[in-house]
Structure 1
C-alpha cells in the first residue's frame, strides 16, 4: 500500500515537472505557428508512467508481476507511434495496423482463444482511438482517463493482479500531474503520443485483467467503464455522417464542444465529463462486485443513444455545414482537429 502511494506520488510530481520541461523546450525550439500551445505533452505522461513503473522492480521496491512488462513494451511502442505522428502525420492505415499489431501481442500473451482474441484486438484498437478522439478540449480527456484508470486499478487488485493495479494507479497519477498544465487555459496538450499511449494502456490492461472472468460480466463492466469515450466517438461519427463531413477529419463537434454550446465553460465541460465517467465507473465496479447483475448495464446502454440524439440538436458546424450542402466538406471550423488522420489543429 505504501509502495503504491509512493509510486503514484512520484508519477504525479515527475509528470508535472516533465510537462513543464517539454513545454519550455517546445516554446524555445519548436515550430512557430498560429497555435502557440505545444502538443507534445504526451511525452511527459508516457515517460512518467513508464519510468515509475519500471523503476520499482529495478530498485526492489515493488514488483509488477507477470504480464506487465510486455504490456509496458507494447504501450511504449504505441507512444512512439503517436510521437512520430505528432512530428509528421501518418496515414490512418499505418496507425491502425501498428496499433493492431501491438494489441495482438498483448492478447496473445494473455492466452485468449483465437475468437475472443480477435474481438479483444478490435476492442483495444477502437477504445485506443476513442480516447485519442476525446483529446480535443482542455482537461477533458485527462479527467476521463484518470477516473477510468482508477476504476480499472480497483478491478485489477480485486482480480488478483496487483501489478496491473499498481501500473494503472501510476497512470492515473501521471494524468493528474499532466492536468496541472492541461487544465483550461491549457499550456500544453497531450498530442497523439499521450492520447494513444493512455488509451492503449487502459484498453489493454482491461483485457488482461479480465482474462478468465465470466464473459457477460466482463462485457457489461468494460462497457460501463468506457461508456463516455464510446458515446463521444458514436456522437461525432453520426454527426459527421449526417452533415456530409469526412468521418476522420476532426472538428469542434465532440461532447465537450456541445456542452460549451449549451453554456458551460471549458472547465465546466471537463468537470461534467469527469463526473459522468466517475458515475459510470462506479456503476461498473458494482457489476464487478456482484452487487448489480450484468443485465443492469442495459439501463446505461439506453442512455447512450438518448444522449447522442439530444447532443446532436446542439449546432456545432454552422449554416455552411448543413447536410448535403456543397460546402459541407470544407473544414470551416477554426477549431478543427485532424482526429484519426493525425495531429491536432
Structure 2
C-alpha cells in the first residue's frame, strides 16, 4: 500500500518534470503538432512513457512490487508500441505501419490459454482498435489525458477486485503519470501527447482490461470492455459515421471529432475536457460496477444507449467537418483567440 502511494507520487512528479524539460528540445527539433494555431511540442507522451516504465520497472527490479510475467510482457509490448509511436511523431510513419506494429504487440500480450485462439485474435483486434481510437482522441487540450486517468483508475479497481496486484500497480502508476502530464497539457497546453504517449496509454489500458476480464464469458466481457472505453468508442464511431455521410475518406483528418463538435456547441476547451471526462467517469463507473457484480449487466445497455444518443446528436452538429484545416485556422486567427476554437487539433 505504501509503495503504491509512493510509486504513484513519483510517477506524477516525474511525468510533470519530464514534460516540462522536454518541451524546449521538442520545439527546437521541430517535433510539434503543426495542425494547431501555434506549434505545441508532441513530447508529453514521451514523458508519460518514461515515467511509467521507470517507476513500474523499478518496482519489478527491486522486488518491492513485482508485476508478474504477464504484466511484464504487457509493459514491454507497450514500450515497443510507444517506440513505434515516437518514430511516427518524428518521421510521420504511414498509418498502416503503425497499425501493423500495434497488432503484433497486441498478439503478444493476449492470454491464449484462457481465451483460445479465436478469442485471443478478437481481443488483440480490440486492443489495436482502442489504441488507435485513443490516439485519435488526442485532438484537443486535456481530452486524452483526462479520459486516460479516469479509465486507468477504473480498470485498476477491476484489477484489485480480481487480486491482480501487478496490473493494479501498473495502472496506478500510469494514472499518476497521466495526471502529471495533464499539468502541462491542460488548456492552454504547453505540450501535446503525440502518437508515442497516446498509443502507449491506449494499449496499456486495453490490454489490462483484457487481462482483467480473462476467464469470464465472452458476451458479458464485451459489454464491460465497451463500458470501460465508451468515450473513445463514441469518438471513433462519430468520426467514421460523419465522414461517410459527408462522402469524405474515413482516414482523412478533419475537425470533426468530439472535442471539435463540443466547441461548436459553445463550450470552451476546458469545458469540453470536463464534459468528456464526466462522460468517461460515468461509463467507466458502470463498467466497474458490472464487473464487480454490484449492479446488473443492464447498466451496460444504459451506457450503450447514451453513447448512441451522443453519436446521433453530435453528428447533427452543423459545420463540424465541412471546413478545411486551413479555413479552421483562419477562423481561429480572425477570431483573435489563439487559445480557443480550433486550437483543438484535427486527427
TM-score by length of 1: 0.91
Change (3 A) 1:160 1:267: same
Select 1:114's aligned residue among 114, 117, 121: 117
Q: Which residue of 2 aligns with 1:140?
A: 143
CA–CA distance in 2 between the matches of 1:317 and 1:253? 5
CA–CA distance in 1 between the matches of 2:153 and 2:323? 42
Q: Which residue of 2 aligns with 1:159?
A: 162
Q: Deviations over 1:11-46 (max 9, x none)?
A: 000000000111022233436877421012211000
CA–CA distance in 1 between the matches of 2:308 and 2:276? 17
CA–CA distance in 1 between the matches of 2:27 and 2:92? 20
Secondary structure of 1:63 counterpart: coil
Select 1:123's aligned residue among 121, 126, 136: 126
Q: Is 2:191 the partner of 1:188?
A: yes
Q: Is 2:315 the partner of 1:306?
A: no
Q: Which residue of 2 aligns with 1:96?
A: 99
- Offset of 1:153 from its aligned partner? 0.4
CA–CA distance in 2 between the matches of 1:121 and 1:172? 23
How many pairs were matched up?
331
Q: Which residue of 2 aligns with 1:327?
A: none
Note the residue ranges of structure 2 that are not aligned, 5 or more in a row. Answer: 330-341
Change (3 A) 1:320 1:112: closer
Select 1:290's aligned residue among 287, 293, 310: 293
Secondary structure of 1:62 counterpart: coil
Change (3 A) 1:320 1:138: closer
Q: Which residue of 1 aligns with 2:18?
A: 18
Q: Which residue of 2 aligns with 1:30?
A: 30
Change (3 A) 1:320 1:283: closer
CA–CA distance in 1 between the matches of 2:125 and 2:243? 22
Note the residue ranges of structure 1 that are not aligned, 5 or more in a row. Answer: 322-329, 340-345
Pairwise CA RMSD of aligned residues? 2.0
Q: Which residue of 2 aligns with 1:243?
A: 246
Secondary structure of 2:26 counterpart: helix
- Offset of 1:216 from its aligned partner? 3.2
Q: Which residue of 1 aligns with 2:332?
A: none
CA–CA distance in 2 between the matches of 1:22 and 1:319? 35
Secondary structure of 2:41 counterpart: coil
- Offset of 1:242 from its aligned partner? 1.3
